[in-house]
Structure 1
């Protein structure tokens, strides 16, 4: 089925796609496939959120298909410094890798143009994650003969490797389940973007579970993202709304078909403000749950009056993405050897964003120091910030 581009005034658009009743009957539920024309992660997250906020999907289910330029997408309750290689993202790929926080839970995923992203919108009562995954598995088997499995965690797997990441948002009256399908993703960039060393972070934030992954094209080189728009969308339209039963061409032709969606303000009033929110620092970093970082540093022999080696320790507390406290432990040998205890200088980053802004203030403070011991401890604080 060809992708047909249609334009709507928003009043007509909402009226056309928002009719609902309190107790839907399967035969009365219509389906649409929305194809986003944007490749920007913040715009697509805004479109997803706009639809979730403004549509009633009770009698009209929607599958939104979308792609993004390279980006790392963390869950609503995650820590970006724990999940992504934040300090190196701009150096990965020709245009760098953006960091985004979505409005749903779950773990961290990497997107590029080798992924197909799918958002299944329904009314809250019709939400069914397994139904959605069954559609994807049926589509890939029907077109390519690929036999994907649905794991106990409701991820799609191939040869015991993950080929999808998944998350959901359940509200009233609407809900959505979204997942990303690894088709021809750049796994080198993925690894670099998500590669993290243990930085000593303690937090209650949701932590991702690492899994072995595989691209679908490794199993079938003929498979690409552009063809999957048609393959998955067509399978969605030909499947009954509430049960995984194939209605074939007869059912598909009764649906509302494919719609090319342009996520701009003229189509979706208020979407620009949503996009600004998703790409803003406060949402991406400021929403991070409170965490602490503790690191120990060996004091150089020339700063001690003792033959017994000892360590200094720095504990930094970060709330709402900003440094709220810095606790220092000075070993007796360092303190007894004339350390000035100039905590005000060392804690100058307090109240500033973690970590570029705080590093700037720290670098400025270092320039006012004279004591070698003061500079050593200050350098320890700098290393704590640079370690994540």
Structure 2
């Protein structure tokens, strides 16, 4: 992709091409950012004519690396005189908002099975699916000049200028085509000095994987976490089959460079020639000191799952008749009930309500397993603890769960894996 893009950029004599090739480039930007006043009242931002722009193109397709790069730039760079649009793409992954519940938003067992990464970003908003068929865009500015509408209108212009695609911005600041199909969601992060707005554009993403990765299932979760709003989606290639991720990257990049920094006006080739142009960015520790630590934090379990807002789960499961005492007749359906609270991704409290029919048929040990589950991750780790707890009631020569215990374990598995 990088070689293809470079050929396209170099082919235009009107575009200035600057590649960041020395690690001092990133370090000097970091120093500039750290020397900024922490009081926005003390700084005077430059006039529009003094602001230059760059399009940074990440050479990584790893979600954790790209999120770390985004965070590094947000923390360290000075955008007062230099606005940046970063374009990036990822291998298949699901990205949840900062305040969301991954077990509620994503099909976690499927992601594990298909080796699809799950990442929690630092911005708010809803859950999205990424693959190489998405173009992700991040707009960096000083906080005072953060403007979502400017950014979205710029993308609208690029779609129409480059491909004749008409789109609209709805009340949620999503981009829609055909007046109903979502092609882009939006989210942001703001500090006292800096702000960024990012979005993802569906070009030719695998919609089957998208649907299955974000499928809603029976989960019994109650939470105050931010919930995603389902919307019908479309790929841009469904509207115009000439659109590719590379061509869209070029179209949006040039639209960004030809537009003045603070208002929507077509500055044409004259404006493009004044900008810093397209720059390939290699998100490594050599270029961006401290990036490795940021990436490590972003891909850790404590961030991806442990930062989930507290939630509770309640599920009931009918007990198969063959597991009940055959000599008994019960007035109501016999159900196993599992209730638990989860704090920071760890089981804080749990109860197993065993129906009389299961106890009368010989099941035992329900009370003894509870203490073994507290503090366990809300994953198969808890299931393993449950199985081990039930096995402690067995003789050393009988290390196998009986059919009633297997039923309880299967129900618990459906809770912690939310399937």
Kept in 1: contact 2:55–2:85 (CA 8 A): yes
Q: TM-score under structure 1 normalisation?
A: 0.93
Query: Unpaired runs of 5+ in structure 1?
Result: none
1:237-287: CA deviation from partner (whole Å, max 9, x where unpaired): 110111111111111111111111111111111000000011111110110
Shift of 1:191: 1.0
Counterpart position of 2:152 = 133
Q: 1:341 to 1:204 in 2, by over 3 A?
A: same
1:53 and 2:75 are equivalent in the alignment: yes
1:361 and 2:408 are equivalent in the alignment: no
Counterpart position of 1:66 = 88
1:36 and 2:36 are equivalent in the alignment: no
Shift of 1:194: 0.9
1:383 and 2:414 are equivalent in the alignment: yes
Q: 1:377 to 1:14 in 2, by over 3 A?
A: closer
Aligned with 2:192 (options 172, 176, 189): 172
Task: Name the CA distance, whole Å, in 1 between partners of 2:276 and 2:309.
Answer: 42
Task: Name the CA distance, whole Å, in 1 between partners of 2:20 and 2:391.
Answer: 61
Structure 1 SS opposite 2:44: coil
Q: 1:335 to 1:366 in 2, by over 3 A?
A: closer
Kept in 1: contact 2:310–2:344 (CA 8 A): yes
1:303 and 2:324 are equivalent in the alignment: yes
Q: 1:218 to 1:26 in 2, by over 3 A?
A: same
Task: Name the CA distance, whole Å, in 2 between partners of 1:23 and 1:383.
Answer: 55
Task: Name the CA distance, whole Å, in 2 between partners of 1:227 and 1:4.
Answer: 20
1:145 and 2:159 are equivalent in the alignment: no
Number of residue pairs matched by the alignment:
385
Counterpart position of 2:40 = none
Task: Name the CA distance, whole Å, in 2 between partners of 1:235 and 1:350.
Answer: 54
Shift of 1:372: 6.3
Q: TM-score under structure 2 normalisation?
A: 0.86
Shift of 1:378: 4.5
Counterpart position of 1:154 = 173
1:121 and 2:145 are equivalent in the alignment: no
Task: Name the CA distance, whole Å, in 2 between partners of 1:252 and 1:18.
Answer: 29
Structure 2 SS opposite 1:343: coil
Kept in 2: contact 1:17–1:60 (CA 8 A): no
1:115-145: CA deviation from partner (whole Å, max 9, x where unpaired): 0000000110101101000111101111111
Task: Name the CA distance, whole Å, in 1 between partners of 2:291 and 2:405.
Answer: 50
Task: Name the CA distance, whole Å, in 1 between partners of 2:63 and 2:233.
Answer: 22
Q: 1:374 to 1:214 in 2, by over 3 A?
A: closer
Task: Name the CA distance, whole Å, in 1 between partners of 2:355 and 2:386.
Answer: 22
Q: 1:18 to 1:223 in 2, by over 3 A?
A: farther
Counterpart position of 1:187 = 207
Q: 1:295 to 1:53 in 2, by over 3 A?
A: same
Q: 1:300 to 1:224 in 2, by over 3 A?
A: closer
Q: 1:351 to 1:102 in 2, by over 3 A?
A: same
1:278 and 2:295 are equivalent in the alignment: no
Select between 17-26 and 286-295 the one with higher mean Cα deviation. 17-26
